Protein backbone atom coordinates (compact mmCIF):
# COMPACT_ATOMS: atom_id res chain seq x y z
CA UNK A 1 0.00 0.00 0.00
CA UNK A 2 1.24 3.47 -0.90
CA UNK A 3 1.97 5.42 2.28
CA UNK A 4 -0.03 8.36 0.86
CA UNK A 5 -3.04 6.14 0.27
CA UNK A 6 -5.91 6.51 2.72
CA UNK A 7 -6.01 3.58 5.13
CA UNK A 8 -9.41 4.47 6.55
CA UNK A 9 -10.78 7.12 8.85
CA UNK A 10 -8.24 8.83 11.04
CA UNK A 11 -8.78 8.95 14.77
CA UNK A 12 -9.94 12.42 15.72
CA UNK A 13 -8.86 13.61 19.12
CA UNK A 14 -10.74 16.68 20.23
CA UNK A 15 -8.64 19.04 22.33
CA UNK A 16 -11.38 18.91 24.94
CA UNK A 17 -9.76 21.30 27.38
CA UNK A 18 -9.39 23.95 24.67
CA UNK A 19 -12.86 23.31 23.20
CA UNK A 20 -14.50 23.40 26.62
CA UNK A 21 -12.61 26.59 27.46
CA UNK A 22 -13.61 28.16 24.15
CA UNK A 23 -17.24 27.08 24.56
CA UNK A 24 -17.32 28.62 28.02
CA UNK A 25 -15.56 31.84 27.01
CA UNK A 26 -17.53 32.30 23.80
CA UNK A 27 -20.88 31.00 24.98
CA UNK A 28 -23.58 32.95 23.30
CA UNK A 29 -25.65 35.27 25.39
CA UNK A 30 -28.94 34.05 26.85
CA UNK A 31 -30.68 36.47 24.44
CA UNK A 32 -29.28 34.54 21.46
CA UNK A 33 -30.45 31.23 22.91
CA UNK A 34 -33.88 32.79 23.56
CA UNK A 35 -33.95 33.93 19.93
CA UNK A 36 -33.09 30.43 18.67
CA UNK A 37 -35.84 28.97 20.88
CA UNK A 38 -38.27 31.55 19.48
CA UNK A 39 -37.41 30.54 15.90
CA UNK A 40 -37.71 26.84 16.73
CA UNK A 41 -41.13 27.49 18.30
CA UNK A 42 -42.20 29.41 15.19
CA UNK A 43 -41.23 26.35 13.16
CA UNK A 44 -43.34 24.14 15.46
CA UNK A 45 -46.32 26.46 14.99
CA UNK A 46 -45.84 26.45 11.22
CA UNK A 47 -45.53 22.66 10.87
CA UNK A 48 -45.40 20.72 14.11
CA UNK A 49 -45.43 17.34 12.39
CA UNK A 50 -42.36 18.08 10.28
CA UNK A 51 -40.39 19.56 13.19
CA UNK A 52 -41.38 16.69 15.50
CA UNK A 53 -40.16 14.17 12.94
CA UNK A 54 -36.84 16.00 12.64
CA UNK A 55 -36.40 16.20 16.40
CA UNK A 56 -37.24 12.59 17.20
CA UNK A 57 -35.19 11.23 14.30
CA UNK A 58 -31.86 9.79 15.42
CA UNK A 59 -29.18 8.39 13.19
CA UNK A 60 -26.31 6.11 14.12
CA UNK A 61 -22.99 7.86 14.65
CA UNK A 62 -19.50 6.85 15.63
CA UNK A 63 -17.67 7.15 18.93
CA UNK A 64 -15.65 10.11 17.68
CA UNK A 65 -18.79 12.21 17.33
CA UNK A 66 -20.14 10.79 20.60
CA UNK A 67 -17.08 12.13 22.37
CA UNK A 68 -17.41 15.66 20.99
CA UNK A 69 -17.40 18.04 23.97
CA UNK A 70 -20.55 19.97 23.05
CA UNK A 71 -22.63 17.94 20.56
CA UNK A 72 -25.25 15.92 22.44
CA UNK A 73 -25.22 12.24 21.47
CA UNK A 74 -27.23 9.36 22.89
CA UNK A 75 -25.50 6.16 23.94
CA UNK A 76 -27.69 3.11 23.44
CA UNK A 77 -27.00 0.85 26.39
CA UNK A 78 -28.62 -2.57 26.64
CA UNK A 79 -31.22 -1.46 24.05
CA UNK A 80 -32.37 1.58 26.05
CA UNK A 81 -31.36 5.16 25.34
CA UNK A 82 -29.21 7.03 27.83
CA UNK A 83 -28.34 10.47 26.48
CA UNK A 84 -24.95 11.86 27.31
CA UNK A 85 -21.31 11.30 26.68
CA UNK A 86 -19.86 7.81 26.72
CA UNK A 87 -18.98 6.61 30.18
CA UNK A 88 -16.41 3.97 30.99
CA UNK A 89 -17.74 0.67 32.20
CA UNK A 90 -21.08 0.85 30.38
CA UNK A 91 -22.06 -1.72 27.78
CA UNK A 92 -22.62 0.73 24.93
CA UNK A 93 -24.06 -0.95 21.86
CA UNK A 94 -24.11 2.10 19.60
CA UNK A 95 -24.42 5.89 19.50
CA UNK A 96 -27.15 8.04 17.95
CA UNK A 97 -27.34 11.74 17.18
CA UNK A 98 -30.28 13.97 16.31
CA UNK A 99 -30.85 17.48 15.08
CA UNK A 100 -31.33 18.95 18.56
CA UNK A 101 -28.01 17.46 19.67
CA UNK A 102 -26.29 19.23 16.78
CA UNK A 103 -28.12 22.51 17.45
CA UNK A 104 -27.16 22.35 21.12
CA UNK A 105 -23.58 21.66 20.11
CA UNK A 106 -23.42 25.14 18.61
CA UNK A 107 -23.93 26.77 22.01
CA UNK A 108 -21.66 24.76 24.29
CA UNK A 109 -22.81 22.90 27.37
CA UNK A 110 -23.75 23.74 30.93
CA UNK A 111 -21.73 22.64 33.96
CA UNK A 112 -23.41 19.19 33.75
CA UNK A 113 -22.63 18.68 30.03
CA UNK A 114 -26.22 19.32 28.91
CA UNK A 115 -27.25 21.51 26.00
CA UNK A 116 -29.15 24.74 26.61
CA UNK A 117 -32.22 23.95 24.49
CA UNK A 118 -34.76 21.21 25.24
CA UNK A 119 -37.69 19.87 23.27
CA UNK A 120 -40.95 19.90 25.21
CA UNK A 121 -43.45 17.09 24.69
CA UNK A 122 -46.97 16.65 26.01
CA UNK A 123 -48.81 13.36 25.56
CA UNK A 124 -46.14 12.29 23.07
CA UNK A 125 -46.56 15.41 20.90
CA UNK A 126 -43.92 18.08 20.41
CA UNK A 127 -45.35 21.32 21.77
CA UNK A 128 -42.27 23.50 21.60
CA UNK A 129 -38.80 24.26 22.84
CA UNK A 130 -37.61 25.68 26.14
CA UNK A 131 -34.36 26.42 27.93
CA UNK A 132 -33.12 23.21 29.49
CA UNK A 133 -34.26 23.21 33.12
CA UNK A 134 -31.52 23.16 35.76
CA UNK A 135 -30.66 19.88 37.45
CA UNK A 136 -32.62 19.31 40.62
CA UNK A 137 -30.95 16.03 41.55
CA UNK A 138 -27.39 14.79 41.60
CA UNK A 139 -26.23 12.61 38.77
CA UNK A 140 -26.91 12.81 35.06
CA UNK A 141 -30.72 12.68 35.12
CA UNK A 142 -32.92 15.76 35.19
CA UNK A 143 -36.16 16.04 37.08
CA UNK A 144 -38.66 18.70 36.15
CA UNK A 145 -42.09 19.62 37.40
pLDDT tens-place string over residues 38-88: 999 999 999 999 999 999 999 999 999 999 999 999 988 864 445 544 455
Instruction: Express each pLDDT in 8-26 by its tens digit.
Output: 444 444 554 545 454 444 5
Q: Quick one: which of 96, 61, 58 has its CA closest to 76? A: 96
Whether residue 27 is predicted with pLDDT greater than 80 in this model: the reply is no
Going from the C-alpha of 31 to that of each of 8, 36, 48, 52, 138, the distances in angstroms are 42, 9, 24, 24, 28
Average confidence (pLDDT) over 84-93: 61
Please, are residues 110 and 28 in contact by the beta-carbon 8 Å criterion?
A: no
pTM of the complete model beyond 0.85: no
Q: Assess contact for 129 and 119: CB atoms under 8 A.
A: yes
pLDDT of residue 7: 42
Say if residues 103 and 35 touch (Cβ distance below 8 Å). no
Quote the CA–CA distance of 76 and 93 in Å, as a whole number.
Answer: 6
> Is the per-residue pLDDT at 138 higher than 80?
no
User: Which of 109 and 78 is assigned the larger pLDDT?
Assistant: 109
In this prediction, residue 89 has a pLDDT band, given cuts at 50, 70 and 90, of low
Amino acid sequence: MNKNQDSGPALVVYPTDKLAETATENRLSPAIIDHVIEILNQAVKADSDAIARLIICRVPCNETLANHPTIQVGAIINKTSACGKSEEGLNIQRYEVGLLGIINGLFGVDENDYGFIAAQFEDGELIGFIKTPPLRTKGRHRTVD
